[in-house]
Structure 1
Amino acid sequence: MARAPAPLLLLALLAALAAAAGANAAGRKMVGVYELRKGDFSVKVTNWGATLTSVVLPDCKGNLADVVLGYDTIADYVNGSYYFGALVGRVANRVANARFVLDGKVYHLVPNDGKNALHGGKRGFSKVIWTVKDYVGGGDSPYITLYYHSFDGEEGFPGDLDVYVTYRLSGRYELSLHMNATALDKATPVNLANHAYWNLAGQGRGDILGHTVQLFASRYTPVDGALIPTGAVVPVAGTPYDLRAPTPVGAHVRAIYGGKAGIYGYDTNYAVDGGAGAAALRKVAVVRDGGGSGRAMELWANQPGVQFYTGNFLKDVKGKGGKVYGQYGALCLETQGFPDAVNHPNFPSQIVRPGQVYRHDMVFKFSF
């Protein structure tokens, strides 16, 4: 298949990018934005943080809109703190007290969420430059494959790790993500996640409280005030966490304590029905815009958990095209291993041993 033309935006790495990426060879790479297009369906990805920057698709009247939150410039992604569209790791979500014990050895991570480590630490995978290994922007199955080598001791994690992610337009209105990571020399925890913020009415077009959400999960993992799991896995039945039937996001959002005083909303890991084995794709969620767009999204994945987050901490964030994002301006569905699994032996293990390969597949199926 013929190669697509050069990326839409290709710019020399500024001093700010070099500082953020560290003084190494990666800091001298180029950062670009790459488009995948199939008819009126298009996606853009940047190799800064392997980040999904836009998803444009029609509504029921044929009107196009971008349905993921983000920024206008790479510099904004470098300086941003919301992980818009990012590929987060080496371990997504929180690790309590930024420490864990593996094979009898204590590892200390870099804390960046109070005393805890969040989304891989201060310089997680969302804050580095990935190498573009392959890129085909058009045709029947447009895709981009990105690569990152995480070195032994990066942010405190053990062992060298080779990481790949492929974004692909795998169907007419279908976006698939395939992530894999190979531990080269030491056992290490791996838990990658995509952190896209979705508003099916269009980014910046109000809140998502009228969206309906259905999660195929009958249990969830309760957390403490710092959003650290207690270790329990409990039924959703009879609680505001029960989203097994299509439910407006706003129906119970203010009954859910979001982890900080005065902040309410879902920021919750659900145990996806179908077992803990990360092999076959399972239906995770269905989201529908409650407004006039008619857009809907199905999410399928092979991970044991999904973090449902309702944008509780968004406040006056300047986004794409001058839009300003407020609280509940989008929702996230981050398929993942259970948070803090390294400190809870009863959770599905996220440990990858030398020569083993971690695999994480996601498929977003859109309709309108």
Structure 2
Amino acid sequence: MVGVYELKNKKGDFSIKVTNWGATLMSVIVPDSKGNLADVVLGYDTVAEYVNGSSYFGALVGRVANRVAKGRFVLDGKVYHLYINDGKNALHGGHRGFSKVIWTVKEYVPDCDSPYITFYYHSFDGEQGFPGDLNVYVTYRLSSPYELNLHMNATALDKATPVNLVNHAYWNLAGHGSGDVLGHLIQVFASEYTPVDSSMIPTGQIAGVAGTPYDLRLLTPLGSRINLVSGGGAAGYDVNYAVHGNYAVDGDGFREVAYLRDPVSGRALELWANQPGVQLYTSNWMSNLKGKGGVVYGQYGAVCLETQGFPDAVHHPNFPSVILRPGGAAYRHDMLFKFSF
């Protein structure tokens, strides 16, 4: 059964809704500086719209998020072919990745000081072309005062496999239906990024941001650089930043990755995580998309901050590895969204 589940703080002014379809984050309601509540993530009203949608709103993306060049890779001497769904490449786990399956609700504890829900999915050997059986758990948890914790764990059962899970929330801190995010201020704590070719595949280079429009180490209005960068031919950010720290999969290296603030509402978001990369995407391709409450989302209507392993890491030995092995350390991806206003 597919359902919608709510987590809410005791005060009642901070809540989220999630569904076990794609372990998807459907809404995040937080106050602004005047106490007014708004939903700050884009999405749909009904689960059916998520089933039919193609924008990955709030979805848990896997087995391997982002792109894999030519939809193939070699692991331990064997060639694996993935489902091609982005030109000549595989994107976000294939046409039926983790965002397009029903997850099992393992625990749902809404009535406590730190309410949470845990979803489980068993990915079978050969699913979308990926090797080996994989057990995946995802937990959404609220904690005080206004913090959303997201924990992703995966264990390879019988074969080595690449794993790179992503939460694909689209953030607009002014409210999901309030227009574009070009007035938002952003800071990304990264001195390097991974340049891509015309088909959005990393070149393998890890380049410095200094002196480029990708340098967001100081608080910067999103709109001030939006026409100086492009991803796949559309103006705007769609790039992976190399967030320096400890790349170990056991949870070491947890640190602040990015900061986002809407000057009008006063809402701000700190993102903390333990992954080596973060994809910054400014909804460059979004156009006339009908969302919650009949609102129409347009270009630059939100910003995505997706902590992750590096895109196409299976083809670049100089990138942090995304290979998970049976008997080895489990995959662990921790995210913390700290809201303030």
Rounded to whole Å, the distance in 2 between the matches of 1:185 and 1:300 is: 32
Tell me the equivalent position of 1:240. 213
Matched, 1:251 2:224: yes
Tell me the equivalent position of 2:28. 55
Tell me the equivalent position of 1:186. 159
* Unpaired segments ≥5 residues, structure 2: none
Matches within 5 A, 1:37-56: 37-38=8-9, 39=11, 40-56=13-29
Tell me the equivalent position of 1:267. 238
Matched, 1:335 2:307: yes
Tell me the equivalent position of 1:170. 143
Tell me the equivalent position of 2:247. 276
Cα displacement (A) at 1:257? 1.6
Structure 1: 4+ residue segments shifted above 4 A? none
Determine which of 292, 295, 301 is the counterpart of 1:320: 292
Tell me the equivalent position of 2:280. 308
Q: Secondary structure at the match of 2:3?
A: strand
Cα displacement (A) at 1:277? 3.1
Cα displacement (A) at 1:335? 0.1
Q: Secondary structure at the match of 2:38?
A: strand
Tell me the equivalent position of 1:7. none
Matched, 1:118 2:91: yes
Tell me the equivalent position of 2:319. 347
Q: How many residues align?
A: 336
Tell me the equivalent position of 2:42. 69
TM-score (norm 1): 0.90
* Unpaired segments ≥5 residues, structure 1: 1-29
Cα displacement (A) at 1:172? 1.5
Measured on the aligned residues, the alpha-carbon RMSD in Å equals: 0.7
Tell me the equivalent position of 2:190. 217
Determine which of 268, 275, 300 is the counterpart of 1:296: 268
Cα displacement (A) at 1:290? 2.7
Q: Secondary structure at the match of 2:223?
A: helix
TM-score (norm 2): 0.97
Cα displacement (A) at 1:274? 2.1
Tell me the equivalent position of 2:70. 97
| Amino acid across the alignment from 1:265 | G
- Between the aligned residues of both structures, percent identity stands at 75
Rounded to whole Å, the distance in 1 between the matches of 2:182 and 2:263 is: 9
Rounded to whole Å, the distance in 2 between the matches of 1:242 and 1:290 is: 21
Rounded to whole Å, the distance in 2 between the matches of 1:105 and 1:254 is: 42
